[in-house]
Chains A and B, each alone.
Chain A
Amino acid sequence: MASDSDSLTSTDDFAYQNPKASPPETSQDGLKFLTLNESENVVDGELALNQPVVGEGVNGQLVVEHDRGECELETEEPVAGEGVNGQLVADHDRGEGEPEIEEPVVGEGVNGQLVAEHDRGEGEPEIEEQVVGEGVNGQLVAEHDRGEGEHEIEEPVVGEDVNGQLVAEHARGEGEPEIEEQSSSSGPAAMAAVPEVGEVVREISSSVVVHRVNSELEVDAPSSPSSSGYAGERGSSSDSSASGIEEVNGDDIDEAVIPADHSVDAVSDSPSWVPGKRHINETLVYPCKDKCPNSEHNSLNWFTICRCLGNKDDASISWRKRKKHFFVLSNSGKPIYSRYGDEYKLAGFSATLQAIISFVENGGDQVKFVRAGKHQVVFLVKGPIYLVCISCTEESYEALRGQLELIYGQVAQMILILTKSVNRCFEKNPKYDMTPLLGGTDVVFSSLIHAFSWNPATLLHAYTCLPLAYPTRQAAGAILQDVADSGVLFAILMCRHKVVSLVGAQKASLHPDDMLLLSNFVLSSESFRTSESFSPICLPRYNPMAFLYAYVHYFDVDTYLMLLTTSSDAFYHLKDCRIRIEMVLLKSNVLSEVQRSMLDGGLRVEDLPVDPSPRPGSLSPHLGQDRLTTESPEIFKEACLGIGGPAGLWHFIYRSIYLDQYVSSEFSSPLNNSSQQKRLYRAYQKLYVSMHDKGTGPHKTQFRRDENYVLLCWVTQDFELYAAFDPLADKALAIKTCNRVCQWVRDVENEIFLLGASPFSW
């Protein structure tokens, strides 16, 4: 969906998830690139157009002129603050109720990333100027927030990267058509326009400036007739035939699985998952609009919330019926992120959550969770950030809290919230609106939230490796080690969410949670796929107070390399490293082995050796040995119920405690569809929480039988085994089978785990 080979990256994946949406019209008429830097790019050959060369920002001077248009209206001065590393954080306050012109904000960051944010104006026509900023990581990112007004006009945002990559993001144009003039990005159809822009960009070479020309044109622009849910929801410009409502039926209310026409399959392992935020037009609707809670003053929101309870608005009902909500808000009650619905529409609700938290805090306590029937509301306070989950899934408090911790980690990773500057922002201005900082990152969160229902890493705090022949992994490890010795903090080669190899500089160890968040960030952000990138990231477990730089490069559609460094100007060095690594990997066939392993999959319960002889096994044919036969002796034939492995074994997860790694068997019959897999995952989650109770745990063994499964868990100092059997499985046989699984895993540990080279081993 992104332009494949063009230098322009349309980050439509950030903004558009709804396949039904008709693409916005785009044009470049309003674009004018005013200021250029000399092109100092040393770009090699065919990569020239594809890949950003970063580091420019440091020496390149950014000059910006902004055209204020013909408007004589009152202007607001931009609010800009300099971030820790020269990243400019531009904060536009919202203009409410009055026509206004916001000034562009321009800032220069370390690595030439442009960060521009627009807040929205509410209620009245407004003109937003585009914002241009140079940010940290060599990508131009311009984000528009929405105006909620009668006529809303979004300005084009075009940014050119140092070497010609153009990235434009519209924070909130998710799937629904919206009025956009002259946008050079946004949506699949924008691609048509992209090459043209690209040409412009190429002509101009390494411009860092983006411009909007005149605003009055846009003011007069008519609403797109096709505007539906989204546009309607933003204001009164069109009828709000909320398109999300029709989807509310049966299981759709569940974790919102909408069939996707163009799902980004590499982002997710589950076919039914669509990245990005859904059902934006759902919200808790306040009929008494004039009295709706306003986050400005929070103490009396109960009143309104309560009063609005009677409202049976469709969108509101469907929103309430969602099985699992996640909210991130600031301690002043400003919404930052909501899984469903529009953050801004949820301002009142968000203020209510804040009121609950601070009410309990005023009593010298901290609220952990509230339970009501099947529902649980879980709270997590992290400094100025509040996180809340409202769920009617059967997940326990501990599990949900762990998920909130990870979401917080993701927030921290992406916007460096823990760095002093943002904290200072909050201290100075508690009403500081952080939402724009997260603009366009919905997809990262939704991908993480999706992972909570399938990825054992989110539960076990361990990572998993792609099964590979030992020499193959060794070869990959060796070249990564080479690189690590030359000043790279961590070198990680991954295939989707599985690690191929991983090397850390001396004494540096990477926490599995950090890896999870990092790979989720990379996998869910489409822009990483199309070009090499250099991006600042924070590893909350490694050091929550500092951030690192990640060089990310995809070798193929699934396999990518991440090089982490502390140095902000290491881009060229890392690029060189990557080229070296790529050469070696190609030469030693690692990449093709990785591809094969992806196709072949991992351990299968059907292949569980029946003979527990301690021969060095091999797990699948591509590793040079025949797949072990499933011929079972009599005892298993009787117990085997025709599906799954011996003794009714359906699935298992084995976690090595020393290695911080786990291996999970492939799903096979009868765990065929994603809902069955999710159910099993939740059952494991329950088992894990039960075994690891803070007060009484960890327990040693647990046997659990219910209508769905027999589950066995075995925790020792070295490993943890979680196994799921047919609910009618025989206890004695199940125990034997578990022993066999452990033996099997140990037999093939060379192939399924990353041994020795792991930074955790020392």
Chain B
Amino acid sequence: MFGCFEAVLSLCGRSESDNYRLRERIREGDSSIWESEDFIMGLSSTATTNEGIQLCIFDLRRGQHEGQELDKILFFFPADLSFSTQLSVIGLSEGLITFTRIFSPDAACEVIEAERHSHVFYQAEPDIWMVMVVEKNKDTEAIWRNDALQRVLKEVHSLFVMFHGSIRALLEKEPGGGVARSHLYSFVMDYLTDFLVAKKLHLPSFRDCLKERGTVQMLTVGREAAIEVQSLVRILESACPGNTACNSLVLFQDLLVSTTLSPDDTVNLFAYAVLRLTPRSLSHGTNSWSYLRKGSTASHVPTGSISDNSGSATEQSYTSHDTSPGRQGQRYHIPRPLQRDKWSKGKDGFLVTETWGAEVGSLIPATPTVWLQQTDERMYLCVFQQKYLTVILLIPVSSIINGEQGISMVKQLVLETASLNIFKVEERLSRGWGGGNAYHVSGYRYLLCDRDRNISRASPPGKVTTLTKDSLLALNKLREEVDVEKSRAKWDDPNHDKDLEICIRARNNAWVIARLTKGKELYMVLEKANETLLYASDAVEKFSNRYCNGTFSLD
């Protein structure tokens, strides 16, 4: 556990010959290191131009002996960084994790803030850490909220676990670490392509301060539509074989209509659906109103080019990787659920992907599976799409005895019993759909979060871009402040929800407001408001009464 830091120190502080000796030791070490090193070396060619960002995943239980430090590293981006640099990043992280535990045994290092870099920590699993290092360059766009960056790490890890199981489990299955590394590599790299704009990673910045990653956006439906959705769900889930428990998710556009999953699983599947399954993500189109994706960048870069660029960049990198004389591809097949443009709509309306490979001896693509956190059960992922309606059906793997054949039967049954309902629901929702700006409230720029249900609603990104940079910076700062207070309150008393109201009149005369009460949060920017505090309070009150059932109203 501690050897690494020593090694790092020696790499950085000691002579080149020491450095060389370390490498030699690594070479003389067991073959698993050889493999992993080889593997990492193989990836060096895939790096994009991202000096500004480093992302690493490491396991503190590995590489505890001198000379085996590299064994800790499970993922490092960019992969072509020298080992000494990689070890230096991990060594500092590990050193500070250890150091902060002296004083704070329950909560180790969360962030290192330096003059030129921020290091954001996330302990994904016991002793498995993810650290993102972001550079604060002169470019003033590079202003982040640590919590937002941490949520990126959290999201990629949750998605990874959903598809591949925990990293620890992979490491236990294959102690050499090769399996875990190759899975992490393709998954995280695929995930990062979504942040890629013109070969540069654009992480959530202050411009995204009216968004909340890791939450679900809901469609508000009328009573009748709700009843129809309900009956659809009932029919869908009855299509499952026997009396096993199926689950379903219904989305309209990029919004959730219904779920029968636990909140955490809902968040993960919803995030995945918005990333890869919804009609918008299938067609590459990045509508400005859509969820977090591209919201910030949409304002300065033509949206079409983003996905084109990133798509081809990824393709390239993987071609080079795949054709490299690596043994990886042959040894284990790695499904890449986040690979772009791999889902397509089949003739029957179900989405298909080849990324899970095919069943032995057949050409039919294998149906993807996901792990559910709540039930700890593996489920087949069947996705049906009718225009803007996406229906996700999760069928327990254990309930299907005859593999793909069984799945097709379920699909068939769904088509027979539910297609009419699906059609009707889609039609009704389309009729009531208010468009991209449906949730715009004129005069307000807001973000509303329900922490208990992991739900958020926000002003459409297109409207948020009308705010001045000063206002966004002020809100970003305020949110950072609130984040710190919330986490502190959580440490003090996990069951007590922070109650807080902050109204700031910023330098540019905009009102920047944060309200926290009973697990719900409201953030707001009012740029064209009157100068009195009372006016601003009134505006919040009105909003609360009208759109939040009076949650944030005072009486």
Contact = CB atoms under 8 A, between A and B. Distances in A.
A670 interface: no
Interface string A722-762: 00000000011001000000000000000000000000000
A593 B424 CA distance: 88
Interface in A292-330: 299-300, 302-303, 305-307, 309, 320
Interface stretch (B36-44, B222-230, B383-391, B497-505): B497-505
Given A699-B504, A704-B501, A307 B104 contact: no
Contacts of B12: 359, 362-363
Interface stretch (A228-236, A242-250, A364-372, A637-645): A364-372
A370 B113 contact: yes
Instruction: Sort A-B residue pairs by CB-CB distance and give the 9 closest, nearest first.
Output: A373-B107, A372-B100, A701-B505, A705-B501, A366-B115, A375-B104, A373-B104, A700-B505, A372-B104
B13 A362 contact: yes
Contacts of A369: 112-113
Contacts of A396: 484
A731 B533 contact: yes
B534 A732 contact: yes
Contacts of B502: 702-705
Nearest to A378: B113
Contacts of A371: 109-111, 113
Interface string B330-353: 000000000000000000000000
A299 B501 contact: no
Interface string B12-23: 110000000000
B143 interface: yes
A692 to B, nearest CB: 11
Given A303-B6, A305-B99, A359-B12, A699 B112 contact: no
Contacts of A690: 478, 481, 504
Contact of A284 (B102, B473, B501): B102
Interface string B472-509: 01100110010011011001100000111111111101
A374 interface: yes
Given A306-B1, A306-B2, A699-B505, A390 B488 contact: no
Given A370-B113, A371-B110, A696 B488 contact: no
A303 B477 CA distance: 37
7 contacts: A299-B10, A305-B99, A356-B95, A359-B95, A367-B115, A370-B100, A706-B500
B539 interface: no
Contacts of A621: none
B219 interface: no
A377 B501 contact: no
B139 to A, nearest CB: 14
B104 A731 contact: no
Contacts of B501: 703-706
Interface string A270-300: 0000000000000010000000000000011
B114 A366 contact: yes
A356 B504 contact: no
Contacts of B5: 302-303, 306
B101 A309 contact: yes
User: Which among B91, B102, B505, B533 has the greatest number of chain A C-beta atoms within 10 A?
Assistant: B102
B505 A320 contact: no
Contacts of B504: 690-691, 699, 701-703
A55 B363 CA distance: 102
Interface of B: 1-3, 5-6, 9-10, 12-13, 88, 91-92, 95-96, 98-104, 106-117, 143, 470, 473-474, 477-478, 481, 484-485, 487-488, 491-492, 498-507, 509, 532-534, 537
Contact of B112 (A370, A375, A705): A370
B6 A302 contact: yes
A696 B473 CA distance: 7
B130 to A, nearest CB: 16
B505 A397 contact: no
Contacts of B108: 372-373
Interface in A685-720: 690-691, 693, 695-707
Given A370-B100, A372-B110, 15 more contacts: A303-B2, A303-B6, A359-B9, A362-B12, A363-B88, A369-B112, A371-B110, A371-B111, A371-B113, A373-B108, A693-B477, A696-B506, A701-B503, A703-B533, A705-B502
Contacts of A695: 143, 473, 477
Contacts of B114: 360, 365-368
Contacts of A699: 474, 504-507
Contacts of A438: none
Interface residues of A, number: 54
B95 A374 contact: no
A143 B532 CA distance: 61
Contacts of A374: 104, 107, 488, 491-492
A702 B95 contact: no
B506 A373 contact: no
Contacts of B509: 700
A704 B116 CA distance: 32
A331 interface: no
Contacts of A366: 114-116
A299 B9 contact: yes
User: Which among A307, A320, A363 has the greatest number of chain B C-beta atoms within 10 A?
Assistant: A363
Contacts of B95: 302, 355-356, 359
Contact of A392 (B9, B103, B481, B503): B103
B113 A372 contact: no
A608 B509 CA distance: 30
Contacts of B10: 299
Given A365-B114, A374-B491, A360 B92 contact: yes
Nearest to B103: A375
User: Which among A302, A369, A394, A702 has the greatest number of chain B C-beta atoms within 10 A?
Assistant: A302
Contact of B507 (A300, A360, A373, A697): A697
Contacts of A481: none
Contacts of A394: 485, 488
A315 B116 CA distance: 37
Contacts of B110: 371-373
Contacts of A368: 113-115
A703 B503 contact: yes
Interface string A246-258: 0000000000000
A396 B480 CA distance: 11
A87 interface: no
User: Which among A364, A371, A693, A732 has the greatest number of chain B C-beta atoms within 10 A?
Assistant: A371
Contacts of B104: 372-375, 392
A68 to B, nearest CB: 43
A302 B98 contact: yes
Contact of A365 (B101, B117, B492): B117
